[in-house]
Copies of this chain bind each other. A is one copy, B any other.
């Protein structure tokens, strides 16, 4: 049975070859019910797509596109290293596009990619993406698409992420164990699922330890550094200053350092902080910054491996892989317990 071909599969199903092919590619032209039937029969008949034929048919450009929101971000720099490594092994070029955290750019980049110049797309959303229409169009065009880190929760699509909820929980619990009673959370976006998961972890850790969740301590930041600095200043100059900060993104932690330097606030004595970060200078800062460090290189590597399984038709279109990798909590000076004696 191992050499069932597309024609035999189509005959067994009473469908055209084109319909079966589209169903296996998860095309929007085929109903969910038919897709289910096709995949069940393909599994039963041990149908294996011919990799050479499908490569000939589909490998138009030997190029994959990577769409990321931010430059000056070490997480993405490392993730791209992982992607690049896989792509090179496969003999593919990588075109990397930056959206600069701007949805308009993201939409126009997707429109550009729909032009069909790439064989697959890896993508991490920008902070203000709400509608996923442009992403659905890309998926429905049949171009293999994998999201990493910042993924659209509303869509059924392959993703590679990290344990955002657990990391938010652990980071907050670490601050509590270092003596913090009033912990603020700095978030980048209402719309990003990773931001919300990290924040939910923070809230649940507070609840577990009997600390109140206070709205005024949950700060929604923007993509504007100046504005974020003023938000953080307001927070730290307020009547009831927090004694701990959980920062969900690296650049907000840097802003906190700036504000404390200006105000003469001492970290970790008067304020403790831990942040999600792959910052190369984390251990060189004054004081060194405690971090939740994502396995950025591995995330890029796994996302690329998943994409190439789709490009090479080694996976069926209706199988949706969701991979989660664990982040590490690295304790440094910025969250150290101060023993009063």
Chain A residues engaging chain B, CB cutoff 8 angstroms: 63, 68, 71-74, 76-77, 80, 84, 93-98, 100, 104-105, 108-109, 112, 115, 117, 251, 254, 257-258, 261, 279-281, 283-288
* C-alpha spacing A215/B253, complex, angstroms: 41
The listed residue with most B CB atoms (<10 A of its CB), out of A96, A98, A261, is A98
Q: Min CB distance, A77 to chain B, in Å?
A: 4
Across the interface, name the chain B residue whose C-beta is closest to A282.
B281
A281 and B283 form a contact (CB under 8 A):
no
B94 and A105 form a contact (CB under 8 A):
yes
Contacts of A71 in B (CB 8 A): 68, 71-73, 76-77, 80, 96
B283 and A254 form a contact (CB under 8 A):
no
B286 and A284 form a contact (CB under 8 A):
yes
Query: Which of these, B68, B77, B117, B284, contacts A261 with CB under 8 Å?
Result: B284
- In the complex, the count of this chain's copies comes to 2
The listed residue with most B CB atoms (<10 A of its CB), out of A76, A93, A96, A281, is A281
Contacts of A287 in B (CB 8 A): 286
Q: Min CB distance, A295 to chain B, in Å?
A: 17
A285 and B286 form a contact (CB under 8 A):
yes
26 chain-A/chain-B pairs, Cβ below 8 angstroms: A63-B112, A68-B71, A71-B71, A71-B76, A72-B76, A80-B98, A84-B100, A93-B105, A93-B108, A94-B100, A94-B105, A95-B108, A96-B100, A98-B98, A117-B117, A251-B280, A254-B280, A254-B281, A254-B284, A258-B284, A261-B283, A261-B284, A279-B281, A281-B284, A285-B286, A286-B288
Q: Min CB distance, A88 to chain B, in Å?
A: 9
Q: Min CB distance, A193 to chain B, in Å?
A: 23
Query: Which of these, B68, B93, B251, B285, contacts A285 with CB under 8 Å?
Result: B285
Query: Shortest 3 CB-CB distances between A and B: which pairs?
Result: A286-B286, A72-B77, A96-B98
Contacts of A96 in B (CB 8 A): 71, 97-98, 100
* C-alpha spacing A270/B108, complex, angstroms: 52
B80 and A109 form a contact (CB under 8 A):
no
Query: Which of these, B100, B279, B280, contacts A80 with CB under 8 Å?
Result: B100
Contacts of A77 in B (CB 8 A): 71-72
Other A-B pairs, 6, CB within 8 Å; known A68-B71, A72-B77, A72-B280? A72-B76, A95-B108, A96-B98, A98-B98, A257-B281, A281-B285
Across the interface, name the chain B residue whose C-beta is closest to A115.
B117
A108 and B72 form a contact (CB under 8 A):
no
Q: Min CB distance, A121 to chain B, in Å?
A: 14
B74 and A95 form a contact (CB under 8 A):
no
Q: Min CB distance, A221 to chain B, in Å?
A: 15
Contacts of A112 in B (CB 8 A): 63, 95, 117
